[in-house]
Structure 1
Amino acid sequence: MSDEALEALTSESHGHDHDHRNVPGVYDVNDLEAEGMDLEIAIETQKTGWKINKSSTTVEDPSILKLHLTKPPVRSIDLHFPLGAEVTARNLRGVTIKDALDAIHKFFKKRSDDELDRPYLAGFEWDKEESWTRLVVHLQSQPATSGGFGGGGRKKKRRDSEDDD
């Protein structure tokens, strides 16, 4: 590689935000992929009781908002919805649960409740086969709260007794 090419590469990657890049322990998600380092998602995101068109401060337990969304923490991550929409959560000190919820809320805040089929956050999924650098957002029709997972989800196969001809 020529000196000019190397120079161009190094100056590009250290653009105007060079000084922010080295918050210790906070990674660029692309570097994690290059190093084959797995992401873990904060378990607290699975029981927020949060409605995606409401402010992030309406979660059941606001203390979770300060937690990092992933381990290790990343500067930015794409949040992908099953229907194709995608938002990006960013924080140079590491994306927190609040950053993720705020990014989602910004996208959905103008939607009324009846426009949203599944208005509640069920959680995030990291599927490295699909994409190392993004999380899939799972939504559901009822709020998932830490109050336990009783009932629900049993209506699917009631045919067996009625449909036996």
Structure 2
Amino acid sequence: MAAEVQEQPASLSKVDSAIDDAPASPSESKPKHRRSSSTVSGVFSIVDLEKENVDLKIAPETQKLNWKINTATSTIDDKEALAKLLCHPLIKKIDLHFPLGLEVTARNNKGVTVKDACDAIYKQFKKKADDELEAPYLAGFEWDREECYTKFIVHQKKTGDASSGGGSSKKKKGKGGDEA
């Protein structure tokens, strides 16, 4: 008679809606990540790279942009440089640290580009007037492994490089009285 009891549940043809393949409690189930498609292979978290002690290389094109940080990135002449990746290996996000303490974050799940970094900077400075900025031009980025692995330092300069040449010669320093 005990053998008949074990066979009986297998012969049931009705499906009970209360019973499914899911585990009884939520703790037994593994959470399903909705955004698995947003992860791209070859793009890393800066924190993971720090743990593995990987060297970062910043794109040298950032030093030649001649971009005023309170103007839109569409005003940058070198469109090809904007499409370049900000650093290698590719990273999902990076904090950009300004010397006076301000920080902005550039993000892109497919790898942060030069444009992503410039857009993040522009978002912070777009409402600033030219005379409010002491050094309004982007000079480039620096990565200092010892100071802070997870941040790039933003360097700025007072004047942009004039493509016609002689743009900075308009401003003369010292009016003769300083030489004594």
Bin of the TM-score, shorter chain as denominator length: 0.7 to 0.9
User: Which protein is bigger by CA-based radius of gyration?
Assistant: 2
Letter of the 2:37 partner, please give it. Answer: D
For 1:82, the equivalent position in structure 2 comes to: 99
Query: C-alpha offsets along residues 99-150 of structure 1, whole Å, 9 cap, x if unaligned?
Result: 00000000000001010010000000000111111100000101147889xx
Q: SS of the counterpart of 2:91?
A: coil
Is residue 134 of structure 1 aligned with residue 151 of structure 2?
A: yes
**Structure with the greater relative contact order (CA < 8 A, sep ≥ 6): 1 or 2?**
1
Deviation at 1:18, TM superposition (A): 3.7
Is residue 50 of structure 1 aligned with residue 67 of structure 2?
A: yes
Alpha-carbon distance in 1 for matches of 2:56, 2:102: 22
Deviation at 1:54, TM superposition (A): 0.5
Q: 1:1-165 counterparts in 2 under 5 A?
A: 16-21=34-39, 23-144=40-161, 162-163=179-180
Please tell me the root mean square deviation across aligned C-alpha atoms, in Å.
Answer: 3.0
Alpha-carbon distance in 2 for matches of 1:69, 1:145: 24
Aligned pairs, how many?
148
Alpha-carbon distance in 1 for matches of 2:139, 2:127: 20
Query: C-alpha offsets along residues 24-63 of structure 1, whole Å, 9 cap, x if unaligned?
Result: 2111111110100011100000010100000112123111
Alpha-carbon distance in 2 for matches of 1:45, 1:139: 11
Q: With structure 1 as the length reference, what TM-score do the two structures score?
A: 0.78
Runs of 4+ in 1 over 2 A off after TM superposition: 14-19, 144-148
Q: With structure 2 as the length reference, what TM-score do the two structures score?
A: 0.72
Unmatched 5+ stretches in structure 1: 1-6, 157-161
Unmatched 5+ stretches in structure 2: 1-26
Deviation at 1:20, TM superposition (A): 1.8
Alpha-carbon distance in 2 for matches of 1:147, 1:130: 38
